[in-house]
A and B are shown apart, each in its own frame.
Chain A
Amino acid sequence: MLTRTRTQAVAAFDDSAVSRAAGSTVRRRSRQWTAFAFLAPLVVYLAVFYAYPLYRNIDLSVHDYTPRAFVQGNPEFTGLDNYLDVVSDDTFLAALRNTALFTLGSIAVQYALGLVLAVFFHRNFRLSVVLRAMFLVPWLLPLIVSASTWSWMLNSDNGIVNTVLQAFGIGQINWLTSPDTSLLSVTVANIWLGIPFNLVILYAGLQNIPADLYEAAGLDGANSWQRFWRITFPLLRPVSAITLLLGLIYTLKVVDIIWIMTKGGPADASTTLATWSYREAFGTGQPDFSPAAAVGNLLILIAFTAGLAYVRLQRREET
């Protein structure tokens, strides 16, 4: 059978030697069309849901979209003016600083606590499954519920936190209404929200570390501290990197929890770039889409840079 096919093929090759060239271009072309047709749904999807919104965001940020211009569709092209306005605004530096503190503080502590808990639960003691499930609760609660609960707990006059502190003789701390503590308060709430995510991913990473490595280390007389730093931590590095990257991107764009707890206030004390962008677009009586889009684009740029750094880091790891 094999021989016959082969001979047929050879015969065909001989017979159609002249028309072959033409036939194969037709065939190739039709194949190309097929390929395009199969690609089309994906391309259309990407264009409609990713490329267009991104384009629109850039379009918004380089025009002056007042409500009037938005309705009439005749915004003035202003180039980079919106970006210049945003960067020279007093709020910008405060928001940038707050974003850095909020994001880095959140992901550092989330990661550290998530790792500690993951290692802890990796031992599989009695009730560990139940306890681990309880740590996932923050993830399951709707954000509006957890954020409102936090703001009640941290209320200056009637909050449970201050009541407890007062029982220990510590005076009233205005968690959400003092410029010194409002950023800290929203960061703490955000850390609490982010721990489950870090715990789950790092726990999954731990499962992938072969147990015999620990056995071998045990035989060599490594204590648990050494086992963590020499085996767990290095082998967890790829998982850690992606956890931190995702954490960074999630935290950069946090609006809801800050908005519900402090509205970015008092004054701008807990305003991050994301809440600032939200406030410009939807938080005042008059929507300012252009500066909001400009701030949004800056955020995308920051996240993109972090993504590039991650890719480069990973490439170096692979070679």
Chain B
Amino acid sequence: MPRPSTSTKVGAAVLALSALAACSSAPQGGAATSSASAGAAYTWWDPYPQHDPASAWAKRVNACGQQAGVTIQRTAYDTTALTNQALLAGQEGNAPDVILLDNPAVSTLADAGMLTSMGDFGLDTTKFDKNLIAAGELDGKTYGIPIGANTLALYYNKKILDAAGVDPKSIKDWASLNAALKKVKAAGKKPITFSAIGTEEGSFQFLPWFWGAGAQLTQLDSPQAVEALTLWNTWVKDGTAPNSVISNSQNTTWEEFLTGEFAFAENGTWQINSAAKAGFPTGIVQIPGKDGGAAPTPTGGEFITVPVQKDTQRYTTTKKILECMTTPEGLVETGTTFAYYIPSTADGQKAILAKEPSLRPWVEAVRSAKGRTSDNLGTKYPKISEAMWTAVQKALSGTASPADALKAAQAQAKQAIGG
């Protein structure tokens, strides 16, 4: 009976093959990591897929690698995908040497024990602005350094303001802002747009008003918080701001501003180039606090973090790469490569102002800005933020009054962070 035996052989061969395939995939992965630890290649992840390998940014990263004597293998992910990829890599134990993380994610990964603190690593962090680096601090340790910062301000359409007789310099507090908005409305133009979308972007845009009223993230239903939400709510209810702010992302609101229909738009440093190219003259004013002065705006921007490596020898080279990226000239270069990213050190800020004096209001805005995860909120921030944007959505859509929405938000946040 030859037939069954042949097929048994074939079957065995198939099994053996699949077993071989299963085995062979493991050593391959192992080989890749071991060759990397030999110093041939350093891995680098960042959230800038818009910068391809031929871009100025990629070249700069490579140059810093070459200075440190290694080749850098750079992989770019989408911002949200990056956090998940990083968590997966942490779980598998094959994290890259360097990750550029959006600043609120730093404390999440640091809390997961995935990141090396800059102190352990021997990197001097004193040169960085205190308010900026605070977002990378958790329980007294610093887990990353900002490669630059961006923040929010109010862009204005000079043409509309001139026609309505509004002097942007007159905007000092909420009352004068409201007066300006009223004049614009009387002149038949749309006064203001912002993004109140139900994601982190919505919280990011609400924070200047929230902090500007004197509210704290630890108490979402304080009277000051209610005042901030009431301000936005009144704008949407009386048509000062369009109803679609509830579902508009920051990009969408910017597109709306570029149509030339809106007098003011709350948006960030990253739109400087776009604003310069708009079909009308633009300018910015700081977002005012309720009773005057500039409101603290939230900082945006990425941190360089160093995931924990089994082979601690690698840190020496990684440190060289980090130092190369954060020299004043380096920060200015990063700033200009990224269509404006304000340097995170005093020296860097001086250097960029010497080159581009028009950035002064933005440098000031960054200096008065505040990290979202600061005040040692750390990993609690994402929970609080989710509760906050939900409250904003509820109020603006008319589901609940600002006070009730914030009361529910405080309860939600309290439950989510466990006390």
Residues of A within 8 A of B (CB): 27, 30-31, 33-34, 36-38, 40-41, 44, 66-68, 70-73, 151, 155-158, 172, 174, 176-179, 261-269, 282-287
CA distance in complex: A103, B198 (Å): 23
CA distance in complex: A282, B83 (Å): 10
Contacts of B10 in A (CB 8 A): 37
Tell me the minimal C-beta distance from B93 to chain A in angstroms.
Answer: 9
B276 at interface by CB-CB < 8 Å: no
Tell me the minimal C-beta distance from A176 to chain B in angstroms.
Answer: 5
Add 15 more A-B contacts to A178-B397, A266-B399 (CB < 8 A). Answer: A34-B4, A37-B8, A66-B112, A67-B109, A68-B113, A73-B91, A156-B244, A174-B246, A263-B199, A265-B197, A265-B198, A265-B247, A282-B84, A285-B382, A286-B382
Contacts of A31 in B (CB 8 A): 4
| Complex contact A177–B11 (CB within 8 A) | no
- Give the bracket for the number of chain B residues in contact with chain A: 35 or more
Among residues of B, the one whose C-beta sits closest to the C-beta of A174 is: B243
| Complex contact B197–A263 (CB within 8 A) | yes
Contacts of B108 in A (CB 8 A): 67, 285-286
A-B pairs, top 6 by smallest CB distance, nearest first, are A37-B11, A285-B382, A266-B397, A286-B382, A177-B246, A71-B90
Known A151-B247, A267-B390, A267-B397; judge A40-B87 contact (CB<8 A).
no
Contacts of A178 in B (CB 8 A): 397-398
CA distance in complex: A265, B10 (Å): 57
Contacts of A158 in B (CB 8 A): 244
Q: Which of B11, B247, B379 contacts A263 (CB 8 A)?
A: B247
Tell me the minimal C-beta distance from A211 to chain B in angstroms.
Answer: 48
Contacts of B12 in A (CB 8 A): 37
Query: A-facing mask of B210-242, CB < 8 A → 1, else 0?
Result: 000000000000000000000000000000001
Q: Which of A73, A265, A283, A284 contacts B397 (CB 8 A)?
A: A265
**Most chain A beta-carbon contacts within 10 A, residue among B109, B112, B197, B385:** B112
Known A33-B8, A156-B243, A177-B243; judge A40-B90 contact (CB<8 A).
no
Interface residues of B in 173-223 (CB under 8 A from A): 197-200
Contacts of B342 in A (CB 8 A): none
**Most chain A beta-carbon contacts within 10 A, residue among B14, B197, B247, B399:** B247
CA distance in complex: A158, B252 (Å): 12
B394 at interface by CB-CB < 8 Å: yes
Known A151-B247, A266-B198; judge A37-B87 contact (CB<8 A).
no
| Complex contact A267–B18 (CB within 8 A) | no
B160 at interface by CB-CB < 8 Å: no
| Complex contact B393–A265 (CB within 8 A) | yes
| Complex contact A267–B399 (CB within 8 A) | yes
CA distance in complex: A266, B400 (Å): 11
| Complex contact B244–A41 (CB within 8 A) | no
B386 at interface by CB-CB < 8 Å: yes
CA distance in complex: A40, B19 (Å): 11
CA distance in complex: A305, B276 (Å): 58
26 residue pairs bridging A and B, Cβ less than 8 Å apart: A31-B4, A34-B11, A37-B11, A38-B11, A40-B11, A44-B18, A67-B108, A68-B112, A70-B91, A71-B90, A71-B91, A71-B114, A73-B91, A174-B397, A176-B246, A177-B247, A179-B399, A263-B247, A265-B197, A265-B198, A265-B393, A266-B246, A266-B394, A284-B200, A286-B379, A287-B83
Contacts of B199 in A (CB 8 A): 263, 283
B358 at interface by CB-CB < 8 Å: no
Tell me the minimal C-beta distance from A70 to chain B in angstroms.
Answer: 6
Query: A-facing mask of B365-398, CB < 8 A → 1, else 0?
Result: 0000000000000010111011000100110111
Contacts of A268 in B (CB 8 A): 390
Contacts of A266 in B (CB 8 A): 198, 246-247, 393-394, 396-397, 399
CA distance in complex: A71, B8 (Å): 43
Tell me the minimal C-beta distance from A33 to chain B in angstroms.
Answer: 6
Tell me the minimal C-beta distance from A273 to chain B in angstroms.
Answer: 17
| Complex contact A282–B247 (CB within 8 A) | no
| Complex contact A71–B397 (CB within 8 A) | no
B35 at interface by CB-CB < 8 Å: no
| Complex contact B11–A33 (CB within 8 A) | yes
B15 at interface by CB-CB < 8 Å: yes
Among residues of A, the one whose C-beta sits closest to the C-beta of B200 is: A285
CA distance in complex: A177, B202 (Å): 14
Contacts of B90 in A (CB 8 A): 70-71
Contacts of A267 in B (CB 8 A): 198, 390, 393-394, 397, 399-400
| Complex contact B87–A287 (CB within 8 A) | yes
Contacts of A172 in B (CB 8 A): 243
Contacts of B386 in A (CB 8 A): 284-285
| Complex contact B244–A71 (CB within 8 A) | no
Interface residues of B in 315-366 (CB under 8 A from A): none
Contacts of B83 in A (CB 8 A): 285, 287
| Complex contact A71–B247 (CB within 8 A) | no
CA distance in complex: A286, B109 (Å): 10
Tell me the minimal C-beta distance from A109 to chain B in angstroms.
Answer: 24
| Complex contact B111–A269 (CB within 8 A) | no
Contacts of A286 in B (CB 8 A): 108, 379, 382-383
Contacts of A41 in B (CB 8 A): 14, 18
CA distance in complex: A155, B193 (Å): 14
| Complex contact B5–A71 (CB within 8 A) | no
| Complex contact A72–B247 (CB within 8 A) | no
Interface residues of B in 103-118 (CB under 8 A from A): 104-105, 108-109, 111-114
CA distance in complex: A37, B80 (Å): 43
Known A67-B87, A71-B87, A269-B397; judge A285-B247 contact (CB<8 A).
no
CA distance in complex: A168, B123 (Å): 67
**Most chain B beta-carbon contacts within 10 A, residue among A66, A263, A283:** A263
**Most chain B beta-carbon contacts within 10 A, residue among A38, A157, A266, A282:** A266
Q: Which of B5, B382, B399 contacts A269 (CB 8 A)?
A: B399
